[in-house]
Amino acid sequence: MGHYIANLRDIEFCLFDLLERESVLGKSIYSELDRETVMGMLEEIKRLAENDLAASFVDGDREGVKFNPATGEATLPASFVKSYRAYIDNEWWRIDAPVGLGGTVIPASVRWAIAEMVLGANPAIHIYGSSASFAQVIWQLGTEEQKKIAKLIVDRDWGTTMMLTEPDAGSDVGAGRSKAVQQSDGTWHLTGTKRFITSGESNLNENILHYVLARREGGGPGTKGLSLFLVPKYHFNWETGELGKRNGIYATKVEHKMGLNASSTCEMNMGENEPAVGYLLGEVHDGIRQMFKIIEFARMMVGTKAISTLSTGYQNALSYAKVRVQGGDMKVMNDKASPRVTIIHHPDVRRSLMTQKSYAEGMRALVLYTASIQDEIALAAAAGDADRLEDLKALNDLLLPVVKGFGSERSWTLLGTESLQTFGGSGFTQDWPLEQYVRDAKIDTLYEGTTAIQGLDFFFRKIVKDGGRAIGLLGKEIQTFAESGGVLSDEKAQLLKSLGDLNAIVATLVGHAMASQEKSEEIYKVGLNTTRLLMAVGDIICAWLLIRQGVIAESKLATASGKDKDFYTGKIAAAKFFISTVLPRITADRKIIEAGDGEIMNLSESAF
């Protein structure tokens, strides 16, 4: 086995006990699936992840991507290529491919449970292996002729990228300067430079199809003037996929990064020496909306990647704490002759481990809860239930920045301050996987929109623009549960109090936003606190899901034995610990936000 330790027991508990996913299996579009089939898939990906995929995790980091600037070509370690082929050759791409191209219809909740184990074992494999999901975008939005490209991506395992970011524009996508000029044959010639392009170049695939945002001649300013173009690395025969000449899109640099070194992050140049020929997706100029089909998938992936890394970080830390002998029991610490104990006996190590456990399990539930909403969206769409579909889509939109922003921020922080810390000085060495986990996970707070951007999106688009509808629906569901009494009633009462504090935070920020219509500087008070709001919402959702898990565990405890009894006891303990140590911070956050005067925005730059 490699470094990765999956937690399939908890995944199964979340899917079938907490979220009752068995209720959607065997029905409608999921008619061919049952619990046994799903568990067979999860057990197989666990085996693959812990062995074949995890095997090249270290090589991918130490050897990294080798780039030849003369040819613009990049190569990956042979061991990594072998791991990637194990994933593709075992046909896991089918869970993302369009059904018309050989895809398998499975609930999103099962799909992201599978992704957790791939991303935890070797995240770059999932990143390179996401091409079938990109093909979905062409299959859904492309012309009939362009759908042939989707088929080639799937049939021939072509790589794909999303090309948004530019050196000067950064996260301000609408400031991009890449241009597209239409030709007499209907194609487009693109020019410009893109930066931080994931999977921009590699030796994994015979061809790479780049999804490029560019501004057509005459296109207006900002994001509304952007169109989405399909630009292949090699020209190709649309019927057979046979490759032709090299297209004018090249990697000019592969970034030397802090982590995730098996993933080639490239600077890409278009049209410098020869035309970079592209095709307008769907023959419509609707680029940012089209690209968001990919961005939403990517944000869900990033959050899942971060949370899965925290899970394996915790599992590794727990295993180490059970065998590492150091010091005596605190009760007899002054007795130098007392027996030495494993560090899991020390109070602060237990505090650290339970912090990791509660967050890892709470955030896993957050990811799978969000995915279960996506299950219901697919079912509602199949049934033509428009009203329910609208509410579900709004709820999914609300949760995505929480999964991505909150999930990545909490995971990276905990990996560095708790998981690695459990190992002491050994955690700082390459003898253990934690130092790589920390380096690999940092990017999750940065790409596909930084945490600050997720917070701004969450407040202004998912709350204010939505009129508070989605957060109101979620809040009502949490409140109903918190008021239900019964098992874990004290924890439910604390959840209810914290929900009240959260509602007050939202009201305060909405008040500042409204006041800014007459006094513009009031908006700064919102901007100073949107990340704090995002973190508070994530903590509330995790608390709610952890208590729900605790209630279920309590109902099963009386008849449980052995490992099951330990599992359920741990569930109850995690819920109680999280409620008592994390939720009280939300009251403090409320006081901080309500007392904020925004004076920091009046400081001169020289005062910093």
Catalytic residue positions, numbered: 448
What does the H/E/C string look like for 205-232?
CCCEEEEEEEEECCCCCCHHHEEEEEEE
Residues whose CB is less than 8 angstroms from the CB of residue 285 and which lie 6 or more positions away in sequence, other chains included: 216, 219, 227
User: Residue 399 corresponds to which tokens in the numbers above?
Assistant: 């949760």
Dihedral over Cα of 198, 203, 209, 213: its sign? positive
266 is written with which tokens? 């490239």
User: Residue 282 and residue 229: Cα distance in Å, rounded?
Assistant: 9
User: What distance separates the 2 farthest-apart alpha carbons in the chain?
Assistant: 88
- Residue pair 125/117 in contact (Cβ under 8 Å)? The answer is no
Q: What residues pair up with 389 in beta bridges, in sequence order?
A: none
Q: Which helix (H) or strand (E) holds 524?
A: helix 523-527
User: Is there a contact between 363 and 578 (Cβ–Cβ < 8 Å)?
Assistant: no
What is the Rg, in whole angstroms, of the alpha carbon atoms belonging to the chain? 25
Distance CA 11, CA 63 (A): 32
- Going by C-beta distance under 8 Å and a sequence separation of 6 or more, which residues neighbour residue 502? 475, 536, 537, 540, 586, 590
Compute CA 170 distance to the chain's CA centroid, rounded to the nearest angstrom.
Answer: 20
| Alpha carbon distance 332, 339 (integer Å) | 9
Helix orientation angle between 407-414 and 287-323, rounded to the nearest 10 degrees: 30
Q: Comparing C-alpha atoms, which of 412, 411, 419 is closest to residue 319?
A: 419
Contact 366, 541 (CB under 8 A): yes
Question: How many angstroms separate the Cα of 16 from the Cα of each of 22, 35, 44, 315, 364?
Answer: 6, 8, 18, 22, 14
Task: Encode burial over 200-224: b for 16+ CB neighbours within 10 A, e otherwise.
Answer: bbbebbebbbbbbbbbbeebeeebe
Tokens coding 575: 């819920």
Of 413, 553, 400, 530, which Cα lies nearest the Cα of 474? 400
Cα 29 from Cα 504, distance rounded (Å): 41
Task: With CA atoms as reference, report the closest residue to 72 among 281, 274, 294.
Answer: 274
Sign of CA dihedral 49, 52, 58, 59: negative
> Which residue has tokens 């209720």?
23
Give the distance, in angstroms, between the CA of residue 578 and the centroid of all CA atoms in the same chain: 22
Please report how the helices 469-482 and 489-515 are oriented relative to each other, as an axis angle in degrees rounded to 10: 160
Q: How many other CB atoms are found less than 10 A from the CB of residue 54?
A: 24
CA angle, 317 then 348 then 497, to 5°: 100
* DSSP for 408-454, written as a single string: HHHHHHHIIIIIHHHTGGGGGSTTSTHHHHHHHHHGGGTTTS-HHHH
283: left (phi over 0), alpha (psi -120 to 50) or beta: left
